Chains A and B, each alone.
Chain A
Amino acid sequence: MTTENRTVDTSVVLCGVILKNPIITASGTFGFGKEYAGFYDINKLGGICTKGITKEKREGNPSPRIAETPMGILNSVGLQNPGVDGFIADDVPFLEKLECAVIANVAGRTEEDYCYTVDKVSRLDCIKMVELNISCPNVKAGGMAFGVLPQSVFDITCRVKKYCRKPLMVKLSPNVSNIADNAKAAEDGGADCISLINPVGGMAIDWRSRKPILANVCGGLSGPAVKPIALKMVYEASKAVNIPVVGMGGIMTAEDIMEFLVAGATAVEVGSANIFDPEAGNTLVNELTNLMKRCNINNVREITGSLII
């Protein structure tokens, strides 16, 4: 059999959900899917993560919300979204027609907000998993993000888990002192899997005007600049837990995907790359298959956690 004609198995199973391939588009970079449907058949993806959904409609932060930094982008969108009811009315009808796995990303300002939204979205047939964005400021805890202290990661996961009718994926922030502790806290709280990393806190300044470039002053850094940080955290988190890990941070090529799998990820999320190139998801799916053929890898699942030290 020639290399070209070989078939390779790119499928992975994540908390019982079968993904055609380990490629999931990351929350906040892929809208609700339909924005990219004109560029390629998004059913080719393993899955898509929706824009972060909150209980109420949110207008987000003032502009400018984005800045380019060396090999990265800094953003401060601030969870602009139509709210869970707007999502159900306007976006679910499109998502219901998709064959790839749809993961609802949920955010909130209080534990009650999270529970309310998770309960609503996880009842929807088209939603196969829920991803919990715990990088939001917790209004009750004085504005510190839910995702910073292991105890609060544990608490929010426990609370939300009771309302979640689908597998629960907790998305961890890298802006913490020990990622392994937070990964373990999510697992202990009942998470079915974890995803990481959310953007790294950052800032860009126009020194001539003495002003920050982002209207919100600070933002989250993503893109290739954060990949080494993300790989380290995926490696550390996957060693700390027995649940699957979804890795992300600056993935631009199929080689990058392989690196995350080797570090311990079962699947990956692709974020900034969608913003640089609307066809990035499609390109990565094709590249991954070709890379596996070239490297004689029959089954992508055998790569997960294969790091040799």
Chain B
Amino acid sequence: MKDLEFTVEYNREIVRGVFEMRLVSSEPLPPIHCGQFMHLKVGGEFLLRRPFCIHKFDEYGITIIVAVVGGGTRRIARIKDGEKVKAVLPIGNGFTLGENHRRILLLGGGVGCAPLTTVAVTYPDREYISYIGFATKSSVMFLSDFEKFGKTVLCTDDGTVGRKGYVTEVLREDIAEIKPDVILTCGSTPMLKAAARLSLETKIPAYMSGETRMGCGVGACLVCACAVREKNGEAVNKRACVDGPVFRLEDVIL
């Protein structure tokens, strides 16, 4: 983990209320593992940093996806190309695949698709099938990113493009045929709950990347507690920042 200065190469709205920002560092970045995130200093009157998963990365740059949900993200959305920003990265455990995980199912909902695009970069030797869901045609993002590394099924809740219905329901129809070794997922809480049921029914292990309000981002302040059930059944609070953000889906108390 390092607190690095970046130059904003671009910050553009990709669908309404969602921004894609590419940040470039003058020095090579520390090694990044898929599913890790960064903690961005907002600036202005905002004191707390905001965590964003790393959507794309290379040696000198990273791309993040910012959904405007409040004052802090509204301010980030206004950051201009060429501005300097600071961010701590890379943070968290990220997605870890076992050797036996050959056929990987990526299950994303909305902006929750953003961290899943890095998995095939860290693990290029696996087979990927992606199910990505959005509310409607105008909110679809990342389709070409997912298509680059495997078969991708696009779903919209209203059926304006792709298959109609919640992405987890569409997946339910197909999963017996796909037979993935593991499901990696990120999205809204209702989506994660549906994914957890599917994982339980099919006995296919699943891992989720979670989101919570965060403080320090380095594991010290304990504000990003994520309730997780341990093997003995005891519920404990894990730190989403450094113990997560990726947890076994069935362990998380959603």
Contacts and interface: CB of A to CB of B under 8 A. Distances in A.
Contact of B223 (A35, A65, A224, A278): A65
Contacts of A66: 48, 213-215, 221, 223-224
B contacts with A: majority SS: loop
Contacts of A61: 225
A296 B8 CA distance: 40
A68 B215 CA distance: 10
B194 interface: no
A contacts with B: majority SS: loop
Interface stretch (B39-47, B105-113, B115-123, B129-137): B39-47
Given A30-B220, A35-B220, A278-B3, A63 B212 contact: yes
A28 interface: yes
A31 B3 CA distance: 18
A77 B47 contact: no
Contact of B47 (A29, A60, A223): A223
A276 B220 contact: no
B139 interface: no
A38 to B, nearest CB: 6
Given A68-B72, A71-B47, A80-B237, A275 B215 contact: yes
Contact of B221 (A38, A39, A64, A77): A77
A35 B219 contact: yes
Interface in A7-43: 28-31, 35-36, 38-39
Most buried by A among B47, B213, B216: B47
Q: Contact residue range for chain A?
A: 35 or more
A29 B221 contact: yes
Interface residues of B, number: 32
A271 B45 CA distance: 18
A278 B235 CA distance: 29
B45 A275 contact: no
A217 to B, nearest CB: 15
Interface in B61-86: 71-72
Contacts of A276: 41, 47-49
B213 A64 contact: yes
Nearest to A25: B220
A59 B236 contact: yes
B208 to A, nearest CB: 15
A36 B218 contact: yes
A62 B225 contact: yes
A81 to B, nearest CB: 8
A59 B213 contact: no
B217 to A, nearest CB: 8
B220 A274 contact: yes
Contact of B220 (A29, A68, A71, A72): A29
Contacts of B21: none
A85 interface: no
B161 interface: no
A67 B48 CA distance: 9
A71 B71 CA distance: 13
A60 B225 contact: yes
Contacts of B242: 35
B140 interface: no
B41 to A, nearest CB: 7
B39 to A, nearest CB: 9
Interface string B16-36: 000000000000000000000
A278 B1 CA distance: 10
B175 interface: no
B183 interface: no
A67 to B, nearest CB: 7
B227 interface: yes
Interface string B188-225: 00000000000000000000000011111111111111
19 contacts: A29-B220, A30-B220, A31-B218, A51-B222, A59-B237, A60-B222, A60-B225, A60-B237, A63-B225, A63-B237, A66-B213, A70-B45, A73-B215, A75-B221, A77-B223, A223-B47, A276-B47, A277-B3, A279-B3
